[in-house]
């Protein structure tokens, strides 16, 4: 049982909290797999504060004990229903690494403790509620439910799973960014409309046994068809992919035989700038609930506490990213006034040291729809804005973002404004005006600018939905010039990914050779993680690119995946045997030897050299270090802790 703190700045989390507000019952009880953090970066906080603003009484049960039915009865039966979310992450991604090993920490739990939420949290919580309250409305939300709203490939079980609605027993899924749909659901329930009749709300998914009421539906392959033939899942995914736009999408219907149908309504319309401002003006405390203070708080808050969300949505179109299915491709932004007002409040915090850690969103330098037609006609269903080349209609303009950054760094009490959420280097290179890159290097980088080329093979990059490697090379040169112009010594640090669909050992070796020439050895290696509802995950499962129909090779065997990871860190002694095996398989033993282009030295000679004395020729060691420094100098270009861009 959660201890009562008597802090009424937060929404009720105990029965005592509710009694102090003189409530006899709550309208909604929000159950979350995360600890309760009242900050605008957390879905629980946004949805609960929004409902509170519209007069609903909201109580929160963070991380209930899913083995105890009493844990979800803290507030009794809510008047209107339960809202259920796994939290800010899919619970399986939260719990397991890509090698399916249990993680040792959970950044969204107090003190980083693991084990405070179940696997498949939405399903477990919803079934727990259903056992206690047989007919209560249950609405799922958050990224776990959003990306599992229809049949989906589940990496951890290596099979196709049904819509989360069927396995959870819930009534609705509010998918994507749920402000509009949750308010519509609340208003309908408050008006006395039964939950089974809420079949008309944009941004929701429901189940039924008769689809005669669905207007102009698109019938997807049935679940049985997809489980019998993975090609049918690729067909279904392709249809879903072009129906993610609120202006052009039609209802999607998926049949489950005797279990009826699951129907996905078109997405909610994007928020206007004023609506975005209203959301971020809600009375967030910006803190974790004080009940967690004894355990050191909630670690994930430290990453966002002094960061500013300026936008949502992304038209970048990376294949391995779920944003197309979750936030959508239409970028929505807050006004400068809204962001600056939040920054001013931030500077008043006793813990603020003068550094704003980030100003951005999914992609920091996107500050509006990619072209003028999107807010009237929607995004193009069969083409991307940036890939494979920037669309002629793409508005490439950093002026608004630059103006915002200038205003923020001029605020009293602000020493530095960083951009950590990542820039799109291809978007940056499409801008003929160099001012953004110059000011980024001069004012908004903290030593290393982290960018995400992801790979160097153009074949793999095409499957990733990323620009050709030449674009990244051009960016590094441009950023190096901007850094020198600013009189700084900074480094561009690239993120790379192994084992993405389309990447075999030969492509992995190509990446290793680039890393060799770069003189940069990644400390951490990212292996492709097949998370639900991404285009890359569909390729991984089916071996087919769903949008083109072409066959795609995918490394699934643990041995090959280990080799691809090892090649990215070929200098490490513990990786030697794996790297050697990879070179043998690819018939690239020319990379074993003494030449400057070799990745490995011959093993016997290496042992003989070590026995003869490591300090034999200090001059040659100095020369080796000098050569390494020269390689490193290739990318003396950026110093910021940006995430992927």
Domain extent listing, the chain: 15-205, 447-456+479-645
pLDDT at position 522, please? 82
Yes or no: is domain 15-205 CATH 3.40.50.280? yes
pLDDT tens digits for range 56-95: 999 999 999 999 999 999 999 999 999 999 999 999 999 9
Q: Give the integer Cα–Cα distance in Å for 14 and 627.
A: 63
Segment 462-489 shows an average pLDDT of 96
- Per DSSP, 545 falls in state -
- Per DSSP, 573 falls in state G
Segment 266-292 shows an average pLDDT of 97
**pLDDT at position 618 over 60:** no
Q: Which of 527, 494, 490, 480 is nearest to 508 (CA)?
A: 527
Q: Give the integer Cα–Cα distance in Å for 21 and 340.
A: 33
- Per DSSP, 96 falls in state B
Query: Do residues 552 and 465 touch, judged by C-beta distance below 8 A?
Result: no
pLDDT at position 382, please? 85
Q: Give the integer Cα–Cα distance in Å for 309 and 173.
A: 25
pLDDT tens digits for range 201-229: 999 999 999 999 999 999 999 999 999 99
Query: Do residues 264 and 252 touch, judged by C-beta distance below 8 A?
Result: yes
Contacts of 141 (CB under 8 A, 6+ apart): 43, 47, 83, 84, 85, 173, 174, 175, 178, 182
pLDDT at position 4, please? 61
CA 8 from centroid of its chain's CA atoms: 32
Segment 392-403 shows an average pLDDT of 95
Segment 357-369 shows an average pLDDT of 93
**pLDDT at position 50 over 70:** yes
Local confidence band at 604 (pLDDT 50, 70, 90 cut-offs): low
Local confidence band at 575 (pLDDT 50, 70, 90 cut-offs): very high
pLDDT at position 557, please? 94
3-class secondary-structure state, position 514: helix
pLDDT at position 421, please? 83
Residues found in the chain: 645
pLDDT at position 577, please? 96
The H or E element containing residue 146 is helix 142-146
Better-predicted residue by pLDDT, 450 or 417: 417
Local confidence band at 5 (pLDDT 50, 70, 90 cut-offs): low
**pLDDT at position 632 over 50:** no
Contacts of 59 (CB under 8 A, 6+ apart): 11, 12, 13, 17, 18, 26, 28, 29, 30, 74, 75, 78
Query: Do residues 295 and 111 touch, judged by C-beta distance below 8 A?
Result: yes
Segment 618-639 shows an average pLDDT of 39
Q: Give the integer Cα–Cα distance in Å for 85 and 121.
A: 8
Sign of CA dihedral 508, 509, 511, 512: positive
Radius of gyration of the chain (CA): 26
- Residue 453 sits at φ, ψ, to 5 deg, of -70, -25
Structure tokens, 545: 């690119």
- Per DSSP, 641 falls in state B
pLDDT tens digits for range 384-394: 999 999 999 99
Local confidence band at 275 (pLDDT 50, 70, 90 cut-offs): very high
Local confidence band at 641 (pLDDT 50, 70, 90 cut-offs): very low
The H or E element containing residue 312 is strand 311-312
Q: Where does 33-102 show beta strands of DSSP type E? A: 37-38, 58-62, 81-85
558-581 residues labelled b (16+ CB within 10 A) or e (exposed)? eebbbbbbbbbbbeeeebbebbbb
pLDDT at position 525, please? 81
**pLDDT at position 183 over 90:** yes
**pLDDT at position 587 over 70:** yes
Q: How much is the mean pLDDT over the chain?
A: 92
Alpha helices in 533-602 (DSSP H): 535-542, 558-567, 576-585
Helix axes 435-443, 399-409, angle to 10 degrees: 30
Q: Give the integer Cα–Cα distance in Å for 24 and 470.
A: 64
Residue 213: how many other CB atoms lie within 10 Å:
10
3-class secondary-structure state, position 277: helix
Q: Give the integer Cα–Cα distance in Å for 247 and 269.
A: 8
Structure tokens, 598: 């070799």
Of 234-248, 447-461, 516-530, the poorest mean pLDDT is in 516-530
Local confidence band at 374 (pLDDT 50, 70, 90 cut-offs): confident
CB-based burial of residue 169 (10 Å sphere; 0-12 exposed, 13-18 middle, 19+ buried)? middle
Phi-psi region of 100 (alpha: psi -120 to 50; beta: other; left: phi over 0): left
Q: Give the integer Cα–Cα distance in Å for 530 and 556.
A: 11
pLDDT at position 334, please? 97
**pLDDT at position 634 over 50:** no
**pLDDT at position 435 over 70:** yes
**pLDDT at position 234 over 70:** yes
């Amino acid at each position: 049982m959660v201890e009562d703190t008597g802090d009424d700045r937060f929404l009720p989390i105990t029965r005592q909290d509710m009694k102090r507000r003189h409530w006899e019952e709550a309208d909604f009880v929000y159950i979350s797999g995360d600890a309760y953090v009242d900050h605008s970066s957390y879905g629980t906080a946004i949805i609960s504060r929004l409902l509170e603003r519209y007069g609903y009484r909201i109580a929160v049960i963070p991380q209930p004990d899913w083995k105890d039915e009493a844990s979800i009865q803290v507030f009794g039966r809510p008047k209107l229903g339960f809202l259920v979310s796994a939290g800010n992450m899919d619970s399986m991604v939260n719990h397991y690494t890509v090698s399916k090993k249990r993680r040792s920490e959970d950044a969204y739990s107090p003190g980083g403790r693991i084990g405070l939420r179940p696997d498949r949290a939405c399903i477990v919580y919803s079934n727990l509620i259903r056992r206690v309250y047989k007919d209560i409305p249950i609405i799922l939300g958050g990224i776990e439910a959003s990306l599992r709203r229809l049949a989906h490939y589940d990496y951890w079980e290596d099979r196709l799973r049904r819509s989360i609605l069927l396995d959870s027993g819930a009534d609705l899924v509010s998918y994507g960014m749920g402000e509009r749909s949750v308010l519509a659901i609340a208003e309908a329930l408050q008006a006395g409309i039964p939950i089974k009749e809420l079949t008309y709300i944009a941004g929701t998914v429901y189940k039924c046994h008769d689809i005669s009421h669905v207007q102009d539906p698109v019938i997807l392959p049935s679940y049985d068809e997809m489980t019998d033939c993975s090609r049918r899942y690729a067909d279904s995914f392709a249809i879903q992919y072009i129906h993610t736009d609120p202006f052009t999408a039609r209802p999607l219907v998926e049949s489950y035989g005797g279990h009826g149908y699951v129907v996905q309504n078109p997405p909610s319309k994007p928020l206007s700038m004023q609506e975005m401002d209203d959301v971020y003006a809600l009375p967030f405390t910006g803190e974790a609930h004080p009940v967690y203070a004894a355990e050191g708080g909630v670690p994930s808050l430290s990453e966002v506490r002094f960061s500013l969300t300026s936008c949502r949505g992304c038209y970048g179109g990376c294949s391995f990213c779920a944003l197309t299915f979750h936030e959508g491709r239409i970028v929505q932004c807050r006004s400068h006034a809204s962001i600056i007002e939040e920054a001013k409040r931030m500077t008043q915090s006793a813990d603020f040291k003068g550094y704003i850690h980030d100003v951005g969103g999914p992609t920091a330098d996107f500050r509006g729809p990619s072209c003028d037609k999107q807010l009237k006609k929607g995004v193009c269903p069969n083409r991307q804005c940036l890939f494979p080349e920037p669309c002629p209609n793409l508005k490439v303009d950093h002026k608004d973002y630059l103006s915002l950054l200038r205003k923020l760094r001029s605020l009293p009490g602000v020493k530095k404004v960083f951009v950590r959420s990542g820039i799109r280097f291809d978007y940056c290179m499409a801008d003929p005006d160099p001012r953004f890159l110059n000011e980024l290097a001069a004012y908004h980088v903290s030593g290393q600018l982290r960018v995400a080329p992801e790979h160097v093979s153009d074949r793999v990059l095409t499957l990733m939905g990323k620009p050709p490697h030449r674009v990244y090379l051009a960016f590094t040169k441009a950023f190096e010039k901007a850094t020198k112009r600013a009189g700084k010594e900074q480094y561009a640090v690239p993120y790379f990914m192994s084992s993405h669909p389309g990447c075999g050992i030969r492509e992995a070796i190509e990446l290793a050779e680039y890393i060799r020439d770069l003189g940069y050895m990644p400390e951490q290696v990212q292996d492709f993680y097949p998370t639900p509802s991404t285009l890359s995950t569909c390729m991984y499962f089916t071996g087919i690119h769903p949008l083109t129909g072409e066959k795609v090779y995918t490394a699934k065997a643990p041995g090959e995946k280990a080799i691809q990871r090892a090649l990215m860190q070929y200098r490490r002694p513990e990786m030697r045997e794996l790297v050697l095996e990879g070179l043998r398989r690819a018939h690239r033993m020319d990379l074993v030897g003494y030449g400057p282009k070799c990745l490995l030295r011959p093993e016997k000679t290496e042992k003989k050299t070590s026995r003869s004395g490591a300090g034999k020729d200090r001059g040659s060691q100095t020369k080796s270090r000098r050569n390494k420094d020269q390689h490193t100098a290739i990318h003396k270009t950026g110093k910021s802790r940006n995430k992927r861009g």
